[in-house]
Copies of this chain bind each other. A is one copy, B any other.
Amino acid sequence: MIDTTTFKYDANGLIPAVIQDDENGDVLMVGYMNAEAVRRTLESKRITFWSRSRQEYWVKGATSGFTQELQSAYYDCDRDALLFRVIQKGAACHEGYRTCFYTRIDGDGEPVITREQLVKPY
């Protein structure tokens, strides 16, 4: 496996991870990983973040069942951002939407919920 410490982490030891739906290309969320979370993600094929608020590893969907199964992983030219294409079970967003980016910035500045992306409130 690639040495995950070779990526460029910020002052807090974190790298942003873009999570993309492998089935339809939707960007589902942005989370943060440290080197160990990247290693766990690649090894387990389950997206695993470092929770900045809880200061602990966070296997996405561990409690909700809404897991993200890794299909392919990429790093960018600067090695300071990661992209993971996943099979998303259910909702990526804790608010019950398929994607966390469910609010569109409209021309007049009003947020617009793209309801077609709503899975269900839960």
This protein's copies in its complex: 2
Is A36 engaged at the interface, CB distance under 8 Å to the other chain?
no
Q: CB-CB < 8 A to A27: which residues of B?
A: 18, 20, 27, 83
A18–B1 touching, CB < 8 Å: no
Give the CA-CA distance A17 to B5 in the complex, in Å. Answer: 24
B residues near A2, Cβ cutoff 8 Å: 105, 109-111
Q: How far is the CB of A83 from chain B (nearest CB, A)?
A: 5
Q: How far is the CB of A61 from chain B (nearest CB, A)?
A: 16
Contacts of A18 in B (CB 8 A): 18, 27, 30
Could you tell me the distance between the alpha carbons of A24 and B20 in the complex, rounded to whole angstroms? 13
A119 lies within 8 A of chain B by Cβ: no
